[in-house]
Structure 1
């Protein structure tokens, strides 16, 4: 079964109603879908591929000294000496760094920063357009989610980008590329490799491949959208498999609430009661950082609305 694909250009044409219905359905049934003809120039996407690949080449030697590689090498040495190899479940076969407006970015290749800043601007606009569609589909007033994410415009939403590569792995059956999890935030936009697969999403108890698709943007919903929608839209479990061949590129951007944002079910979606607590996003992240790879329901149970940021009842 293929992950749903939407031609986003049809949103502004006579097929708008159909596209809106597709997005609503995929948010409810999958929590994942792919966008083509999304408006981000192909020329920019090609530059992003180029600079991210060149950046990884400068980091490649460093990955050979990373914790997952060291653990794998030690285990293979022990296996050669007669021990039974045990799967590594506490590390990910991933080279990764993050980009935010206020942190240090790689200086090489020279065009990396300019290209990625332009790319992030385009992605942020796309994320906000997707939020508007969700609001429309959920019957919420315009900018309801954006206002919730920004404390009514007092703060900027958090917008971060995770640049990852998943290098070839000598024994992919012994280590995850990235362990199964749901995303903590709002809307996630992924520009994944168009040749090397590995991303999978869980649906109805089965893992399905998120098929590589040239120039597409993969969209998935995070835990905060699940809370705002009172469970109508679910954040989906997903994972990345380590691969023996290839070097998978993955650039994920997260449009999240600011840390002081109070998140909870929209009042108009509480017909069946308030199924999720009201809480401060920063408090949720404190829990998530410790329990990212665990079940999400206990995370919601541990956070409640605080009188001020960081307080707990």
Structure 2
């Protein structure tokens, strides 16, 4: 597959000095920030916070489980990843995005894998696009890594990607155990369902949301839930932009220094039989500042069947989702672009 039309670098558009955004980035009125009926926006209200230093206690596990049920999102502090490493890896991606376009295009991606540098998701011709560029790369299993597609500039970037990824994988392993306990399951349940430490998959996406002359007309990332297992987000602590859906509200998350943001993905929602929620979220853009974030996606082995845990299925609460491999689900998402959890939402609506 190839892109259905020429790919335009959004950062270059922003830097050209345009005063109005091209029509292909203008969202319908009902999809614009604050534009939908029965919808309000609460600015900078914080999601729950989880302290990793306290997660051995039953009370802390219960609080995290409640955050996953009520919000699907939480901040995590005392996570063991140094603030210096987080700032260095963020800075390296900022430096990459600031490189000349010709250099960045050497890493141009395709819809086949999305790996590399890109500016659109989905292959629908004439689609309304998001105001963002990104760089996507595979991290685990190591057999899927393509070092030639990892950016060579700045020179420290490959080492930083490796080091940061290793630390986040360790963090995810710890979180998976406590998330299992929070469901009343054995602590290894979720990790085993993902294929064990040797079977899990992981990938990263560095996001560049350029400043936008008309931020009220577009979005950096359209509303969606993450199709994988769990996402660890290293946010831009200087420029809020992530919004989480809570009831009828879009709530702008206020980043906390040195904290990471964790959200439940579709595959853990399935395994938990919708006890843990994979929640829609989106990204707004800023009229004066660029914003860079780094999302780390922690996923099940691609060919394993994912289905609700039998221990969580009862007559009163039957299985809410069909059996499906992550590969099958991911293919559905890739064909349609960033469109939320349409298959899983339909399963929930039919119950």
Instruction: State which of 65, 75, 79 in structure 2 corresponds to 1:38.
Output: 79
Question: In 1, distance between residues paired with 2:175 and 2:119?
Answer: 37
Per-residue CA distance 1:205-233 (angstroms, 9 max, x = gap): 11001112211110000000110000101
Residue 191 of structure 2 corresponds to which residue in structure 1? Answer: 146
Aligned pairs for 1:86-101 (under 5 A) are 90-101=128-139
Cα gap change, 1:118 to 1:17, in 2 (>3 Å): same
Question: In 2, distance between residues paired with 1:46 and 1:231?
Answer: 35
Higher relative contact order (CA 8 A, sep 6+): 2
1:287–1:299 Cα contact (<8 Å) kept: no
Cα gap change, 1:40 to 1:227, in 2 (>3 Å): same
2:67–2:74 Cα contact (<8 Å) kept: yes
- Scaled by the length of structure 2, the TM-score of the pair is 0.74
- Scaled by the length of structure 1, the TM-score of the pair is 0.82
Once superposed, which parts of structure 1, at least 4 consecutive aligned residues long, lie more than 4 Å away? 59-64, 299-302
Cα gap change, 1:189 to 1:180, in 2 (>3 Å): same
| Superposition deviation, residue 6 in structure 1 | 2.2
Aligned pairs for 1:274-313 (under 5 A) are 274-299=319-344
Residue 90 of structure 2 corresponds to which residue in structure 1? Answer: 49
Per-residue CA distance 1:259-294 (angstroms, 9 max, x = gap): 101100001000221111111111111112233543
Cα gap change, 1:143 to 1:301, in 2 (>3 Å): same
Question: In 1, distance between residues paired with 2:101 and 2:241?
Answer: 20
Residue 237 of structure 1 corresponds to which residue in structure 2? Answer: 280
| Superposition deviation, residue 18 in structure 1 | 2.3
Residue 122 of structure 1 corresponds to which residue in structure 2? Answer: 167
Question: In 2, distance between residues paired with 1:20 and 1:289?
Answer: 34
When the two structures are aligned, how many residues end up with a matched partner? 277
Residue 5 of structure 1 corresponds to which residue in structure 2? Answer: 49
Q: Which moved more, 1:36-45 or 1:105-114?
A: 36-45
Instruction: State which of 52, 56, 59 in structure 2 corresponds to 1:18.
Output: 59
1:261–1:281 Cα contact (<8 Å) kept: yes
1:277–1:301 Cα contact (<8 Å) kept: no
Residue 182 of structure 1 corresponds to which residue in structure 2? Answer: 225
**Could you say what secondary structure the match of 1:202 adopts?**
strand
Instruction: State which of 208, 212, 215 in structure 2 corresponds to 1:165.
Output: 208
For structure 1, which runs of at least 5 residues remain unmatched after alignment?
69-87, 303-313
Q: CA RMSD in A?
A: 2.3
Residue 263 of structure 1 corresponds to which residue in structure 2? Answer: 306
| Superposition deviation, residue 296 in structure 1 | 2.0
